[in-house]
């Protein structure tokens, strides 16, 4: 079945450091890929998405490229801020219902 494997955390970075959170997937067909973020005390919200191979999703300085050849959707940001501290979830969606399958989540802590 479909699955998502995500880099385990926690990830601790200093402000302005480069961030990569790895995400790989296993799926049949042509899924959509998503990154969701959960800030402390808040609900889950979409950060970015890509719906087909070679698409790049971007938002708030974060980027991820849908790589079919490596079945990956790694999240990157060139310069993190303290306000980026949150839990990041990679997710795979598709099929008739578009139900989501989530990775395990990666806690990012950015220190000033």
Partner 1 sequence: SAVISQKPSRDICQRGTSLTIQCQVDSQVTMMFWYRQQPGQSLTLIATANQGSEATYESGFVIDKFPISRPNLTFSTLTVSNMSPEDSSIYLCSVNRGKNTEAFFGQGTRLTVV
Residues making contact with partner 1 (CB under 8 A): 32, 34, 36, 43-46, 49, 51, 89, 93-105
Nearer to partner 1, 17 or 101 (CB): 101
Q: What is the chain's percent helix, strand, coil content, to nearest 5?
A: 5, 55, 45
Whole-number minimum distance, CB 7 to partner 1, in Å?
13
Rounded to whole angstroms, the Cα distance separating 58 from 1 reads 28
Task: For partner 1, give the closer residue by CB, 17 or 63.
Answer: 63
Q: Are 78 and 61 in contact (CB under 8 A)?
A: yes
- 40/96 with CB nearer partner 1: 96
| Residue 15 C-beta: closest distance to partner 1, Å | 26
Query: Minimum CB separation from partner 1 for residue 98, in Å?
Result: 5
> Which residue bears the tokens 């402000």?
15
Contact between 92 and 32 under an 8 Å Cβ cutoff? The reply is: yes
């Amino acid at each position: 079945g479909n699955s998502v494997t995500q880099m385990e955390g926690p990830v601790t970075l200093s402000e302005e450091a480069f961030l990569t959170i790895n995400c790989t997937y296993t799926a049949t067909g042509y899924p959509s890929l998503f990154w969701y973020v959960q800030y402390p005390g808040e609900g889950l919200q979409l950060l970015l998405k890509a719906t087909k191979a070679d698409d790049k999703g971007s938002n708030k300085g974060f980027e991820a490229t849908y790589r079919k050849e490596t079945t990956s959707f790694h999240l990157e940001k060139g310069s993190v801020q303290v306000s980026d501290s949150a839990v990041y979830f990679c997710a795979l969606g598709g099929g008739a219902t578009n139900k989501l399958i989530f990775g395990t989540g990666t806690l990012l802590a950015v220190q000033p």
